[in-house]
Amino acid sequence: MGKRVSLFVTCLGDQLFPNAGMAVVEVLERLGYAVDFPKDQTCCGQPAYNSGYREEARTVARHFLKTFESSEHIVVPSGSCTSMIGHHFADLFRKEPETLARVEALSRRVFEFSTFLTEVANVDDVGARFDGIVTFHDGCHGLRELHIREAPRRLLAHVRGLELREMQPAEECCGFGGTFSVKFAELSGAMARTKLEAIVQTGASAVVSLDSSCLMQIQGALSRAGSKVRTMHLAEVLASR
Amino acid sequence: MSAVFDKKIHQTLADANLQLAIYTATGRLKDKRTESVAADALPDYQELRTQANALKKHAIENLDYYLEEFERNVEAHGGKVVYCKDSTEVSDFVLGLAKERGVSLIVKSKSMTSEEVDLNERLEHHGLEAVETDLGEYILQLGRERPYHIVAPALHKTRFDVAAIFEKELHVAYETVPEKLSQIARGVLRQKFLDAGIGITGANFLVADSGAVVLVENEGNARLTTTAPRIHIAIAGIEKVIPRAQDLAVFLKLLARSATGQALSVYTSFLSGPRRASEIDGPDEFYVVLLDNGRTKLLPSRAKRQSLYCIRCAACLNTCPVYRKIGGHSFPWVYSGPIGAIITPQFMGVSYEPALPFASSLCGACAEVCPVKIDIPQVLLDLRSDVKKAETREKKNRLEKLSYRMFAWMMTHPRVYAWAGWIARHGPVLNIGPVRAWTSQRDLPPIPRQSFRDIWSRR
C-alpha cells in the first residue's frame, strides 16, 4: 500500500526507553505502515526552550525541521514533544516568516502516537491482548495543549483482557516538568508521591501513559516507595499480544 | 534560587499539618468550582470565558480611554479620583486625608491591592489604627501574618490556630467552635465600624460608563466599611476598569463560581459617589485611588499584558499542584500561586526572585481554569526567557548558559549526540548536581545497554 510514516522517537525515548520506541514500530508495522527512522534526528529542543534559552532551542528546532521536512507523516510517542513542535516552534520563529511557514507546514504532519492511530490510521482496535488491570496517567501537555483525552482510552478499551481503572484525579501533574524535576527536586518528589497515592488506590498493576518522561518520574517514585506497580508506555500495551 | 525561597518551600513541605490544611482547603474550593461550572450548571461557561477574555483585552488595550471615562463619571457623582504611581503615594494620600479630617481609626475590608502597598504597616508607623474587618484578614492581622491566599487569606489556619490567636491577642477564653469564633470577632469589630472615620476597600471592578466601584464579598464587612464611616476610599489597580455596567453580566457569572463555586457572592455592592441628599446611607466623601505600582510596565508587551486581565478569583491557586504543596507564604510577594508567579516578576522586576517563573512543571492546569483565559504557562515561558536574557547581560550563571550552548551543539550533531549517549549509558552514574537532585527523591530508571538507534541499525 506504500503507507509510510517517519518515527521521531524523542531523545529520551532513544537513550532511555528504546522498548517503547520499538513497541511503536511494532504497532505501526502491524497496521501495515512502513516505518522510517530519519537517522539525523536528536531532540525537539524543549529542554532549552523550557529553561529560557530560546536561541539554543531555535538552533535545535531548525535541525528538527531539516531532518523531518521531507517526511509525510511524523509519529511521536510523546504528547509533550508533539506539543513543542506543534505549538511552541511557532513561538520560536515568530519573527522569521519563512521558517514559520515551514514550521506550519510541518506541524500539520506531526502526530502524537495515540492520535495518529485513532485519527490517521483510523483504528481503535490494534489487535492487542494484555491481561491485567491498568490505570492511565494523562500527561499534561498531551491533555491540555493537544486536548488528547479520548484516543488512548478508546485504544485501551479495545485491548483484550485489559481492565482500565481511572485514578482520581487522572489529570493531575506527576511533577516531572523537565528540569523542574531537578531544580525543585523536593517539590517535584512531593508531587510525584501524591500522584502515587492516586495510582496505588486503583489497585492497578501497571500505570500507562503517552510520555516516557512522566513514566520515568512515576517509575522512579514507585521504585523508591518499593511499589510493585509497573510503568508502561501506551505503545508497549498495544504491542502486547 | 534565593536561599529564602528554597527554605520556605522546604519548611512547608516538611510540615505535615500544614500540608493537610492546604491540600484539604484548596481541594474543597477546587471541587466546588468544578461543580459550579459544569455543563449542566452553567452551559455557556466556555462562551462566557471567551467573552470575558475579549472584554478584558479591549479594556487593557484602551486603558487610557476607560480610565478617563471612569474618572469623569466618578467626579460627576461628587467623588474624586486620585492617581498613585506607587506605595508611597497611596500612603501619603491616606495619611494626608486622615490628618486633615482628624481621623485616627480606619476600618478596612479585604484588599490585595492594599496588601501590595503595605498600607497597614505604613499607617501604623504614623500612629493610625487600621483594622481589618474580613474575618480571615482580621485573624492574620492579629497573628501578624500576610494573606496565604488571594481569596481565602487564612486558608492555612485551622480553628485551633484561630482559637489560640484570639486567646492570646484578644484575651478571651480558648474557643474552637467556628460560629463562636466569628461572634468574638464580630463583638470587637462592630464597635470599630462605628468609631472609624475612614473605611478603606479594594475594588473588584471599576465601571467606566457609570463611574461605579463594584465590590464582591460574603461577610457584609465591605458594605459596612463603605457605609458606616464618613469617608470611603477604594484602592484599585488601574487594570480593574471595565467599559460598561452590562459587562458585569459576564464577569459576575464567572467570578464567584471560579473563586468559591458560588453562583453569586452573598453581597455585591455598586458604589458610585458619596451619599446623595435623598439617601440615608453612604459616606460624605468618596475617593477612588487608582494605583499603577508597575502595571503600566506590562502594557507594551502584547504577549505579557494579558497578565492584567486577572480578576483575582484564585481558581489558579486552588488547582495548581505547586501551590497545593508549597502554599502561599513560600511565594516571594503578596500574590501567590500561578498568577503571583507571573505578576510578581513583571511588577517587581525579574531579579526580585529569578527562580519564581521556574517553580512550575508547566502543567497548564491554571490556564484551564482561568475565567479570563490568561495563558499563564506561556507567560511563565516568556519570563523564563527574560530571566536568562538578564543573566546573560549581567554575565551571571555562565556555566548553565555554556551547558545549553553545548546541548544545542550536540543536538545538531547527531553522531556526537549518539556517542555522548553511549558514554553516558555505559559509564558509571555521574555524581553531578542534577543526578543527585533526581536521586534525592526518586530512583533512576534502569539504563538500557542499547539505544533505540542501536537496535534500529541492527534490524
CATH number belonging to the domain at A4-119, selected among 1.10.150, 3.40.50, 1.10.357, 1.10.10? 3.40.50
Give the integer Cα–Cα distance in Å for B315 and B331: 17
Give me the pLDDT at residue B275, please: 95
**Residue tagged 527562580 (cell numbers):** B355
CATH architecture, domain A124-239: 3-Layer(aba) Sandwich (3.40)
For residue B453, the chain A residue with the least C-alpha distance is A14
Q: Are B204 and B249 in contact (CB under 8 A)?
A: no
Nearest to B384 among A39, A51, A175 (CB): A51
A144 and B424 within 8 Å at the Cβ level: the answer is no
Residue A204: phi and psi, rounded to 5, are -70, 155
Edge-to-edge strand list for the sheet holding A129-137 = A160-164, A129-137, A206-209, A230-233
Q: Please check whether the two domains, A4-119 and A124-239, share a CATH topology.
A: yes
Q: A-B interface: how many C-beta pairs under 8 angstroms?
A: 193
> Which residues share a beta bridge with B108?
B132, B200
Q: What is the mean pLDDT of chain B?
A: 97
User: Domain boundaries in chain A?
Assistant: 4-119, 124-239
For residue A20, the chain B residue with the least C-alpha distance is B452
Nearest to B13 among A22, A183, A186 (CB): A186
User: Could you report the per-residue pLDDT of B109-143, keeping only the tens digit for each?
Assistant: 999 999 999 999 999 999 999 999 999 999 999 99
The sign of the CA dihedral B117, B99, B215, B30 is positive
How far, CA to CA in Å, does B38 sit from each of A84, A148, B34, B173, B364?
30, 19, 6, 44, 19
Give the integer Cα–Cα distance in Å for A39 and A12: 15
The sign of the CA dihedral B16, B22, B23, B24 is positive
A177 and B361 within 8 Å at the Cβ level: the answer is yes
The yes-or-no verdict on residue B459 having pLDDT over 90 is no
Q: Are A79 and A211 in contact (CB under 8 A)?
A: yes
A217 and B442 within 8 Å at the Cβ level: the answer is yes
User: Could you report the per-residue pLDDT of A31-79, keeping only the tens digit for each?
Assistant: 999 999 999 999 999 999 999 999 999 999 999 999 999 999 999 999 9
User: Could you report the per-residue pLDDT of A134-175, keeping only the tens digit for each?
Assistant: 999 999 999 999 999 999 999 999 999 999 999 998 899 999
Q: Are B108 and B200 in contact (CB under 8 A)?
A: yes
Nearest to B445 among A177, A184, A219 (CB): A219
Give me the pLDDT at residue A2, please: 65
Give me the pLDDT at residue B200, please: 98
ipTM, two decimals: 0.97
Can you say how many angstroms the Cα of residue B102 is from the centroid of all Cα atoms in its chain? 34
With cut-offs at 50, 70 and 90, classify the pLDDT of residue B430. confident
B358 and A180 within 8 Å at the Cβ level: the answer is yes
Q: Which of A51, A75, A81, A196 to mutate to test the interface with B (most CBs of B within 10 A)?
A: A51
Q: Are A185 and B358 in contact (CB under 8 A)?
A: no
User: Could you report the per-residue pLDDT of B233-263, keeping only the tens digit for each?
Assistant: 999 999 999 999 999 999 999 999 999 999 9
Question: Which superfamily does B43-293 belong to?
Answer: NagB/RpiA/CoA transferase-like (3.40.50.10420)
Nearest to B9 among A14, A88, A187 (CB): A187
Q: Which of helix, strand or coil describes residue A134?
A: strand
For residue B330, the chain A residue with the least C-alpha distance is A187
B411 and A13 within 8 Å at the Cβ level: the answer is no
Nearest to A40 among B414, B433, B444 (CB): B414
Please list every residue in chain B whose beta carbon sits closer than 8 Å to the beta carbon of residue A79: none
Residue A210: phi and psi, rounded to 5, are -95, -10
The yes-or-no verdict on residue B2 having pLDDT over 90 is no
Q: How far is A123 from chain B (nearest CA, A)?
A: 26
